[in-house]
Structure 1
C-alpha cells in the first residue's frame, strides 16, 4: 500500500492480509520505487494519488516505463473522484480505480475483478 496516511496504509494492509496477501507499506511513490529497485517482487500495488515527494500518477507512469515491472497490477485507491482523474490514471497504466472511502468488500470486489484473490478466497 502506497499512501502518505499511516492510518489508510494500515486499513488497506489489514484487508489485504485478511485476504491472504503479504503487504509492504510505503509513504510515497518514491519509497515504493525504492522497494522495487532493490528487487522486491510485487503482484499488486494499491496507490493513493495525493502524496508528497512522488504522487500516485507519477508512480504509475514510472512503473509502466520499466519493462521489469510491467507485470505488477496497479490499483489507485484515492479520494480523487473526478472522471478526468480516473481516465488519466487508467490511461497512465492503472488497472483499476477505487474511491475512498470504501468498504473491505469493495476492495475485495476489485481484486476479484482483477483475478487477484487467492484461490481459497474465491471458492
Structure 2
C-alpha cells in the first residue's frame, strides 16, 4: 500500500473515532472499547479486525497529535493490570483551552469510575 493510501486510511479511522466519540454525548471511553466500536470505512458495518485496529490506532494517534482528542494514559493501579491498555479517550469539542480542559475532565472522570469499580471488586491474595 502506498503512503497516500495509508494516510487516507488513518484519516478515515480518525473520522470514525470522532464519530464514535460524538455519539457518547461528551463522555470519554476506554481506548480498547473505542477501538472496538470503530467501523471500517466504506459502510460495510464490519467490526475492526487486527489490521483495521492498527489503522484505528494510527487514527487515534493522529487525533491526539492534532489536539482533537485527549488521551489519558494512567499507570496500572495493580500488578494484575500491567500490560493492559488502560488509556481513556475523550473528544475535544473545540479549539479553546476550555475545550481541552473539558475533555481532560471527562477522561479523568471515566478513569476514576473504572478505578473505583476495580478497587471495589478486586482482591489480591
Question: Scaled by the length of structure 1, what TM-score is found?
Answer: 0.31
Higher relative contact order (CA 8 A, sep 6+): 2
